[in-house]
Amino acid sequence: MPESTPFSTLSHLECPKCGAQLDAAVVQGTCSCGSPLLARYDLAAARGMAVAGREATLWRYHEVLPVASPSAVISLGEGMTPLLPLPVHGKRLGVPDLWMKDEGLIPTGSFKARGAAVGVSRAAELGVRGIAMPTNGNAGAAWALYAARAGIRSLIAMPVDAPVITRAECVAAGAELYLVDGLISHAGALIREALKQRPDYQDVSTLKEPYRIEGKKTMGYEIVEQLGMRAPDVILYPTGGGVGLIGIHKALDEMREMGWLNPETRLVAVQAEGCRPIVDAWQAGATESVAPAAPTTVAFGINVPKPLGDFLILRALAETSGTAVAVTDEELLAAQQELARDEGTFVCPEGAACFAALVRLRESGWLNGGERVVVLNTGTGVKYPDTVRVSVPTVPADGALPGPR
Amino acid sequence: MPESTPFSTLSHLECPKCGAQLDAAVVQGTCSCGSPLLARYDLAAARGMAVAGREATLWRYHEVLPVASPSAVISLGEGMTPLLPLPVHGKRLGVPDLWMKDEGLIPTGSFKARGAAVGVSRAAELGVRGIAMPTNGNAGAAWALYAARAGIRSLIAMPVDAPVITRAECVAAGAELYLVDGLISHAGALIREALKQRPDYQDVSTLKEPYRIEGKKTMGYEIVEQLGMRAPDVILYPTGGGVGLIGIHKALDEMREMGWLNPETRLVAVQAEGCRPIVDAWQAGATESVAPAAPTTVAFGINVPKPLGDFLILRALAETSGTAVAVTDEELLAAQQELARDEGTFVCPEGAACFAALVRLRESGWLNGGERVVVLNTGTGVKYPDTVRVSVPTVPADGALPGPR
């Protein structure tokens, strides 16, 4: 690539709903029409980027990331997580060419670190001095920790039912943390109200700033690079706010536009039966979702009743000939343990939902078993101690273990 | 390197106490003299290994690892964890050239994965059908999960006080798990007794098989590679069983013997005041340690009263002009939060102990502040939810957050 190619080829922001174009050199939220904004790049300049020899983090794709200066990068070593072959489990499920992108191996143990790394880096680069957000736990922990590394403040509100460990992460990071006796949507309303008194904070709620999605899209770039510059046939993604799915769709589009490949990847949104607004909208042929009355699932990260980017999720499914599937909590918890026994990897319940969904898709014939399938595991199972029922004997210090079973 | 160089250059096993040489092609435990065994390689053949373009896992050093066949490698993507600069915290502590090797970004969230990956791979390659071990939690979780991936059985015994999440990992992996109302030493005695009835299991207790240390030593190779083939001046290591410290010492020796560099790295063993057998032995000028009467520390992974490899740990400190330091639980917990606020990384209490030790070493003048110092953070903080005291307000769903502080 020519030496003149800048560190970032970011050109402007674009509204995917009304088409408006906005200045990317200043802090932006959503479009005046209410839609999330998407970052656009000079892809003709970026297309020659030679990533092969670069460091194993998401910053290897810096030309298609929004941070203008290398010195503004706030990094904890995030990205280039393993793409694991799952031959035993794949054979069991009738999908022998099965792979898992393991986002358990990332700072904070959750793929939320990608959005936080890029979002915080760009916010701080543009002069933001504090970030505020509602969260189902992991995003708040990640943004609070990256904010600490950037030396900016954070205000976080999460449901009392969010994973307990994420409270400790926020507190350790020095965040201003509040628990909310309700859902993430209630926490969002509280944050919006609080921001009226805090003009120096940016609202970094899901898709209310344009750069979290840029961090998440790197999962798409990495999967393609790790498969030898080939896109998989299918990607399954546990869908709450859907930022990762929208991001992967965007990455595939960018790679197509840069002439790297012509992906025909079908994207699948996986949800829990207890909170399935995208699945319902997809099945109804709608372009937006409707919040369920009383959403609930053990896979707390996908307990999002009304994602702001619902129309972008549904568009991604439609444009890629994908689909949407819901599974029960019982199914996803069983899948979590079956996968651990088959392959030695302990995934989060959201990731486990995708393996349960694979069974459904294989049974319905939507998958014929010949596809190369990648499941996104969005985090480590160790953040969810209550998903595994432990019932084992306690032995006295001077006792004895039972004989062989 | 010549095409004839084998995947592994393993030649034999050697006793570091009596000098005996043993066959590495069959399953081995300890030496008949009771000492752990060390793997030896044909380093003249391995010295030309060109690792730069290889995959970002510990297997990039396969010539100096014991697994003979690439097909025998059991991997979950472990290794090449980030080496993070800590400029803010380093400046605060008066050690501006401070780095952290972050073993939170590894399968199971603990550096125990390295020993398990290499140990299980080699055990399965040699025909072992089951592994058995006592553990303070993380090692058992790692070995159980890698055993599952290898398709072999696992028998694990851990103190009831071990991190609760590690129980879930063992159970998810399908391990046969027992809790012990005592210390890891009691769990070890129970395992030894149980193994008499299970001749088809290998005892993989710390240093009772030769290959865990080979997995751990890769931390030394990685640190040097990540610093541009230069060894740091000082490495601080939280010391329980001490396998990682022994392994890093071995790696530095191997790199010296291969002519890669001439490291003058001083190694520091960090312990908790509540369990400081190595520190006591070091200060007394002894070559072996004595178990304390009632060992206790919140940094549970280093609550090891009498490490089998104590003489190797003390030898590593002496040979490298290193030292041993103990810190209180209060100091290490404070260090954990201070680091998170300064740098955005939430480390385990064992890793935090090293940052507390840095303060001591700087105050005593053992460090003058001009050194390049690497701290080993052995795992993610998220496995230890109780180390951070969380006291935050809960707000009703229709309530309001307080104004700016």
CA dihedral B251, B254, B256, B261 (to 10 degrees): -60
Q: Is the dihedral of CA A243, A246, A249, A255 positive or negative?
A: negative
Q: Identify which of A152, A125, A132 has the alpha carbon closest to the alpha carbon of residue A70.
A: A125
Q: Do residues B90 and B98 make contact, with C-beta atoms less than 8 angstroms apart?
A: yes
Q: Identify which of A134, A123, A137 has the alpha carbon closest to the alpha carbon of residue A26.
A: A123
Angle between helices A349-364 and A329-343 (to 10 degrees): 100
Q: Identify which of B279, B224, B214 has the alpha carbon closest to the alpha carbon of residue B250.
A: B214
What sections of B98-197 are H helices per DSSP? 112-125, 138-150, 164-172, 184-195
Q: Is residue A30 part of a domain?
A: no
Q: How far apart are CA B240 and CA B230, in angstroms?
A: 27
Q: What are phi and psi of A90, to 5 degrees?
A: -60, -40
Count of pairs with CB atoms under 8 A, one residue in A, one in B: 245
Q: Is the dihedral of CA A102, B352, B381, B271 positive or negative?
A: positive
Ramachandran sector of residue A285 (left: φ over 0; alpha: ψ -120 to 50; beta: rest): left
Q: Identify which of B142, B130, B136 has the alpha carbon closest to the alpha carbon of residue B200.
A: B130
The DSSP line for B268-281 is EEEEETTB-HHHHH
Q: Which of B58, B153, B184, B395 to mutate to test the interface with A (most CBs of A within 10 A)?
A: B395
Report residue B404 as tokens.
Answer: 């700016």
What pLDDT is recorded for position B403? 87
What pLDDT is recorded for position B1? 45
With pLDDT > 70 as the criterion, what percentage of chain A qualifies? 99
Q: What are phi and psi of B275, to 5 degrees?
A: -155, 85
Q: Do residues B61 and B51 make contact, with C-beta atoms less than 8 angstroms apart?
A: yes
Q: Is residue B146 part of a domain?
A: no
Judging contacts by C-beta atoms under 8 Å, the chain A residues touching residue B150 are 344
What pLDDT is recorded for position B3? 56
Distance of CA B226 to the CA centre of its chain: 18
Q: Do residues A230 and A218 make contact, with C-beta atoms less than 8 angstroms apart?
A: no
Q: Identify which of B166, B82, B163, B66 has the alpha carbon closest to the alpha carbon of residue B117.
A: B66
Q: How far apart are CA B74 and CA A87, in angstroms?
A: 12
Residue A204 at interface with chain B, using a CB cutoff of 8 Å? no
Residue B108 at interface with chain A, using a CB cutoff of 8 Å? yes
Residue A385 at interface with chain B, using a CB cutoff of 8 Å? yes
Region A222-229: what's the mean pLDDT?
A: 98
Domain that holds residue B282: 83-109+212-387
Report residue A298 as tokens.
Answer: 């053990």
Region B71-84: what's the mean pLDDT?
A: 98
Residue B71 at interface with chain A, using a CB cutoff of 8 Å? no
Q: How many residues does chain A have?
A: 405
Q: Do residues B46 and B63 make contact, with C-beta atoms less than 8 angstroms apart?
A: yes
Q: What are phi and psi of B238, to 5 degrees?
A: -70, 120
**Mean pLDDT, chain B, integer:** 96
CA angle A188, A202, A114 (to 5 degrees): 80
Q: Do residues B256 and B262 make contact, with C-beta atoms less than 8 angstroms apart?
A: yes
Q: What are phi and psi of B254, to 5 degrees?
A: -65, -40
Of A77, A190, A194, the CB nearest to B102: A77
Q: Measure in Å the smallest separation between the Cα of A111 and chain B Cα atoms.
A: 12
Q: Measure in Å the smallest separation between the Cα of A149 and chain B Cα atoms.
A: 4
Q: Is residue B157 part of a domain?
A: no
**Amino acid identity at B353:** A
Using the predicted structure, report yes or no on whether residue B98 has a pLDDT greater than 60.
yes
What Cα–Cα distance (Å) separates residue B95 from each residue in A149, A170, B264, B366? 18, 26, 18, 12
Residue B168 at interface with chain A, using a CB cutoff of 8 Å? yes
Q: Do residues B277 and B303 make contact, with C-beta atoms less than 8 angstroms apart?
A: no
With pLDDT > 90 as the criterion, what percentage of chain B qualifies? 98
Q: Identify which of B139, B132, B178 has the alpha carbon closest to the alpha carbon of residue B159.
A: B178
Residue A394 at interface with chain B, using a CB cutoff of 8 Å? yes
Q: Is residue A365 part of a domain?
A: yes
- Write the CB contacts of A52 (distance below 8 Å, at least 6 apart in sequence): none
Region A92-117: what's the mean pLDDT?
A: 98
A302-323 pLDDT per residue, tens: 999 999 999 999 999 999 999 9
**Mean pLDDT, chain A, integer:** 96
Q: Is residue A251 part of a domain?
A: yes
Q: How far apart are CA A199 and CA A187, in angstroms?
A: 19
Region B151-175: what's the mean pLDDT?
A: 96
Q: How far apart are CA A2 and CA A15, in angstroms?
A: 30
A163-186 pLDDT per residue, tens: 999 999 999 999 999 999 999 999
Report residue A378 as tokens.
Answer: 């969005």
Residue B157 at interface with chain A, using a CB cutoff of 8 Å? yes
Q: Do residues B41 and B11 make contact, with C-beta atoms less than 8 angstroms apart?
A: yes
Judging contacts by C-beta atoms under 8 Å, the chain B residues touching residue A175 are none
B190 to A395: CB separation less than 8 angstroms, yes or no: yes
| Structural domains counted in chain B | 1
B271-302 pLDDT per residue, tens: 999 999 999 999 999 999 999 999 999 999 99
Q: Is residue A15 part of a domain?
A: no
The DSSP line for B114-141 is HHHHHHHHHHHHTT--EEEEE-SSHHHH
Q: Identify which of B257, B271, B124, B272 has the alpha carbon closest to the alpha carbon of residue B201.
A: B124
Q: Is residue B399 part of a domain?
A: no
Stronger pLDDT, B27 or B53, i.e. the higher one: B27
Say which CATH number the domain at A259 has.
Answer: 3.40.50.1100
Judging contacts by C-beta atoms under 8 Å, the chain A residues touching residue B383 are 382
Report residue A189 as tokens.
Answer: 């309303």
Using DSSP bridges, classify how beta strands B10-14 and B38-41 pair: parallel, antiparallel or unpaired: antiparallel
Q: How far apart are CA A360 and CA A372, in angstroms?
A: 17
Using the predicted structure, report yes or no on whether residue A1 has a pLDDT greater than 50.
no
Report residue A228 as tokens.
Answer: 């030898």
What pLDDT is recorded for position A3? 56
Residue A70 at interface with chain B, using a CB cutoff of 8 Å? no
